[in-house]
Structure 1
Amino acid sequence: MLELLKNIDLVNGRLIRLLKNDTAVEDDSFTEQIEQFLDLREQLFAAVKKAETAEEKQLGERIIQDNELINKLLNEQTQQLKKEINQFNQKKKHNQHYDNPYQNTYVDGTFIDKKK
């Protein structure tokens, strides 16, 4: 059980380092690496049983703290990706409007003179 918790702690440490590394975000394998670490953690968590010794409890508490940090970092990455997607969509919309400025013309509020 202690060895299993140490493995989880090791995986958590690697995942935290990966998420904190800003230069890795530009890498194509970044998402794949995160998925691999999360899958491995999930498999290890499935085998965890109740802690029996004080060392196991202490390691378990550290794993819980690391898990909270990992969730926070993943949320930050998600927000960053959403922001980048929104910026990309705004640029795309702006470029389309620049290419064809009369594409979205509206006729609301136009005055039509009925007199001859």
Structure 2
Amino acid sequence: MSAVGQVYDLTEKLFHLVENEVKAEDRDELIEEISSLLDEREDLLKDVVPPFTEEEQLKGKQIVLWNERINSEFIKIKAEVQKSISNLKKTKTTTQKYVNPYQNTSLDGMFYDKRK
């Protein structure tokens, strides 16, 4: 199989992998699988050199279309991960304030009024 065909197959796997809705608990496994597919595809892209046959050109056009969709899904996954991290930080801060509500109090007993 040509390098274009192998890249086509990997891109198709990647496309089908990201197009399905993923639960938060399965996200880590999905990211690991995506990462391995991307690494494998990157290695194969080095072997893709012209001239291309008509079939390879059609596969290349399909790869470009899939890449656009894959990139948009990556943006969504990234946003979900950022939201999860933000929620985790917020939960951690809230929990810490609940456990020790007087942690951030001033010890010197002074109050400065900044108004003039």
Give the TM interval when normalised to the shorter protein: 0.7 to 0.9
Query: Bigger radius of gyration, 1 or 2?
Result: 1
Tell me how far apart the structure 1 counterparts of residues 97 and 24 of structure 2 sit (CA, whole Å).
Answer: 31
The structure 1 segments of at least 4 consecutive aligned residues displaced by more than 3 Å after TM superposition are 106-110
Partner of 2:4: 5
CA deviations on 1:25-65 (whole Å, 9 max, x unpaired) are: 52343222111100111111110012433222121111111
- Map 1:20-59; keep pairs closer than 5 Å: 20-23=19-22, 26-27=25-26, 28-59=28-59
Tell me how far apart the structure 2 counterparts of residues 81 and 57 of structure 1 sit (CA, whole Å).
Answer: 36
- Map 1:104-115; keep pairs closer than 5 Å: 104-106=104-106, 108-109=111-112
Partner of 2:78: 78
Q: TM-score, normalization: structure 1? A: 0.79
Tell me how far apart the structure 2 counterparts of residues 52 and 4 of structure 1 sit (CA, whole Å).
Answer: 11
Offset, 1:20? 2.3
Count of aligned residue pairs for this structure pair: 109
> What SS does structure 1 have at the residue aligned with 2:77?
helix
Tell me how far apart the structure 2 counterparts of residues 22 and 52 of structure 1 sit (CA, whole Å).
Answer: 35
- Specify the code of the residue in structure 1 equivalent to 2:39: D
Partner of 1:113: none
Task: Tell whether the 8 Å contact from 2:14 to 2:70 is kept in structure 1 after alignment.
Answer: yes
Alpha carbons of 1:57 and 1:99: their partners in 2 closer, same or farther (altered >3 Å)? same
Q: Does 1:87 align with 2:87?
A: yes
Q: Percent identity?
A: 31
RMSD (CA atoms): 2.1
